[in-house]
Amino acid sequence: RAHYAVAFLKAALDHPFPLPGEAFTVRCESTGNVQYKMDAYRLVRPDDDLTPFASVRFDTLFRLLSLNSILLVFSAVLCERRVVFAAESVQDLTRCVHAVMAALYPLQWQHVFVPVLPPSLLSYVCAPMPFVVGIHASLWDELLEMPKEDVVLVRLDKDEVFSNEGLILPLPSAGERLGKRLRSEVVRSSGRDTQHVLDDFIAFHVALLG
């Protein structure tokens, strides 16, 4: 698999850099038993006029977490806390973690960010600096037994957010308006309209920072 990944990356990097919106195909020799078979992958460079998070999906986050939980997690990230997400599905995990990061736009997370932390590196959740990491739910019990301090734990599959008292600060008054906007977004599109959800969070940042 490592050899296949290297071959794929080499084939992609050997291709001329595409123009905005342009697609190209990368071909690699298949790892299957079929001799001389080539796998083909179609890659597309996003248009430059799209937001940096145009490909982010919020619908999974809105499906797994209640609005109150989403606002708690958002506040924790704004306060630069240590946050660990856990889910049974790696796809759901990565979508939710990236959605939370996108909600910070135009701000940017400046600390450790690992969407899927390997089991061998689970001890990193005991680190003293801010971080946002995701883990598979099978590591949850082991995580709870680790000597961590002031870590916000988010169990996506069960809509649960755990933290020490006072660790997550309530959002300011602008947060109430954000909650109302997001609630209407849930009713309207269940979070599927990425740009509308991003606009709601951007409006919050504008009201907060001026």
Q: What is the pLDDT of residues 9-38, one digit of tens each?
A: 888 888 888 887 888 898 887 765 555 567
Mean pLDDT within 67-79: 92
pLDDT of amino acid 22: 86
Give per-residue pLDDT as tens, 178-187.
888 888 877 7
Residue 24, exposed/middle/buried by CB under 10 A (0-12, 13-18, 19+)?
middle
Angle (nearest 5°) at CA 144 between 134 and 160: 60
Residue 95 CB neighbour total at 10 angstroms? 22
| Measured distance CA(182)–CA(190) in Å, rounded | 9
Task: State the pLDDT at residue 51.
Answer: 60
Q: What are the tokens at 85?
A: 């997400």
What residue type is 112 in one-letter code? V
Whether 205 has a pLDDT exceeding 60, the answer reads yes
